[in-house]
Amino acid sequence: MSRRVTFNRNPLLSQLLPQWRSRFILLLLLGGFVALVARSLYLQGVNNEFLQAKGESRYSRVIEMAATRGRIVDRNGEVLAVSTPVKSIWAIPEDAKLSPAQSRQLAAMLGMDVRELTRKLSAESEFAYLKRQIPPDVAERIAALKLPGIHEQREYRRYYPHADMMAHMLGFTGVDDKGQEGIELAYEAQLAGKPGSRRVIKDRRGQIVEDVESIKTPQDGRDIQLALDAKVQYLAYASLREALETHRARAGGAVVLDAKTGEVLALVNLPTYNPNNRVRLSGAQLRNRALTDTYEPGSTMKPFTAAMALDKGKFRFDSTVQTAPGHMTIGSATISDAHPHGLLTVAQVIQKSSNVGAAKLALSFPPEHMWRMFDDLGFGAPLKLGFPGEVGGRLRPAKSWRPIEQATMAYGHGISVSLMQMAHAYLVFAREGDLLPLSLTRADSPPLHGKAVFGAQTAREVRAMLELAVQPGGTAPKAQIQGYRVAGKTGTAHKLESGVYANKYVSSFVGLAPASDPRLVVAVMIDEPSGGKYYGGDVAAPVFAQVMAGSLRALGIAPDAPLAPLQVAKDAETVRESM
């Protein structure tokens, strides 16, 4: 009979374990316990930042406090750009469990398609913008719905009271209130300010339940006061728009400068756009043509050629130049005048706008003299106004000039400039031959003297020539202004397309007034007029007259010429009829 072995009498249990093994296990347990205690003491007593950071990461947040963007105002303090508070609606997709009815209601209030809203709420992310920069009253109505996972955030949106009239000068900001074009971009650092931050406690739905502390106070952006005058800007805008409609032109620009300070009082380009609503924009609308586009200036360059001739002492105001038979041949090319004139004085070369006369004046000097004059006037290099996209034009080195090129540049072909460069260069005639730097912002302490380019006597004599150009017998009688002496020059140039001069024109006029003591310089450019007229005296000169007349009166500049008796009688009759 087999011997039965029970569990409690198993011979394996009767064998004792080695003592070293039990002691080793005990030491391991004690060591682990001591390590846990030491780690606990270290984390809670010595390095407690770790546990605090882990805990705070679940409820504490540091949020950015936006700085208010600075305003842009004109020289008289009129607001041109200001940031207004708006709201943005955002969501935590995981928490946004909306019913179909709620989705339709929210989409309607946001002006969104329901499918687009559903797509955003279905995104696998912790945060999603639904609609940015909506009016505060709409945000309040959405908040009143108390939809799960739907939140609002305060932001700022830029508003431009003068809309398209100031668009190219001011530019605009993006959805994050950062400058994208124009003054908004050029002065981004001053306008934007510096954002602050604060620490808050949020619940799991992202809602702030407690404001803990302010870490850094936001610094609001600085206001920028431009040299721009809103009244002068409006006059330039309205006159240019009327001219483009009348002559069915492709585009145009106008610039008004203060001859005493170099300040830019107006800058207008057409076509333009509304910076408050930029849904449908093209590149052509956004271009600030007065600074970013170049053109061949045509006869508006002739006064500089005459000034060089006078300043070098080789010619006088009444020196004669033979322009008969109305054309001249240089190599294989022929230069012609619109009308043959015969023997002309230097003053009459400008008054009659003789290409042959200007070419002969230029060719009597080495090319280096002419290049140095153009360079001193600022042609061929940006004006360094700090404006985005500003160009310098085209002025090749003098050593590469051929005689025909020097001759054509004397009357504005073979050289390209921007409208702002041309207006700036005419300051030498409005002043005593010196050239002031331009300023987009108001200059409380403008420089009294600029860079000397011509002598004072030369500037005065060329100014007298420019007065002749707007008198009967000149090319621009339509530039005259009742009560003011005006001086200026027309320009009519073929457009260069693919290296060939096309049957398209750029019409321009640059002038100054009052001629006895010039205060303003106005430059006007009309691109591709197609209404039957294209000469600068017919297309651009009348715009100059309207802008200059209105600007002089708006600024309170005293007349320097008597009113014609007929005009006085007509005005008096108008007053009587209106009484």
What is the C-alpha radius of gyration for the chain, rounded to an integer number of angstroms?
38
User: CA-CA distance, 549 to 58, in Å (whole number)?
Assistant: 68
Q: What is the DSSP letter of 227?
A: S
User: CA-CA distance, 514 to 516, in Å (whole number)?
Assistant: 6
Amino acid at 295: Y
Q: What is the DSSP letter of 455?
A: -
Report how far apart the first and last C-alpha atoms of the chain are (Å, whole number): 148
Q: Which of 299, 353, 416, 508 is catalytic?
A: 299
Amino acid at 430: A
Q: Where are the beta strands (DSSP E) in 10-138?
A: 60-65, 72-73, 79-91, 128-134
Helix (H, G, I), strand (E, B) or coil at 219: strand
Tokens 């400039």 -> residue: 417
Question: What pairing do the DSSP bridges indicate for beta strands 224-225 and 72-73?
Answer: parallel
User: CA-CA distance, 389 to 387, in Å (whole number)?
Assistant: 6
Residue 22 annotated to the active site? no
Bridge partners, residue 417, by sequence: 295
Neighbours of 298 (CB within 10 A): 23
Structure tokens at 215: 């870490």
CB 551 within 8 A of CB 232: yes
CB 310 within 8 A of CB 361: no
SS3 readout for 366-406 = CHHHHHHHHHHCCCCCCCCCCCCCCCCCECCCHHHCCHHHH
CB 472 within 8 A of CB 532: no
What residues contact 364, with CB distance under 8 A and at least 6 apart? 309, 314, 315
SS3 readout for 258-286 = ECCCCEEEEEEEECCCCCCCCCCCCHHHH
User: Could you tell me what percentage of the chain is helix, strand and coil, using 3-state DSSP and rounding each to the nearest 5?
Assistant: 40, 25, 40
Q: How far is CA 543 from CA 89, 294, 475, 479, in A?
A: 48, 20, 15, 8
Please report the sign of the dihedral spanned by the C-alpha atoms of residue 368, residue 371, residue 373, residue 378: negative
- Taking the mean position of all CA atoms in its chain, how far away is CA 486? 30
Q: Angle, to 10 degrees, between the axis of helix 230-247 and the axis of helix 541-554?
A: 160
Amino acid at 75: R
Catalytic residues: 299
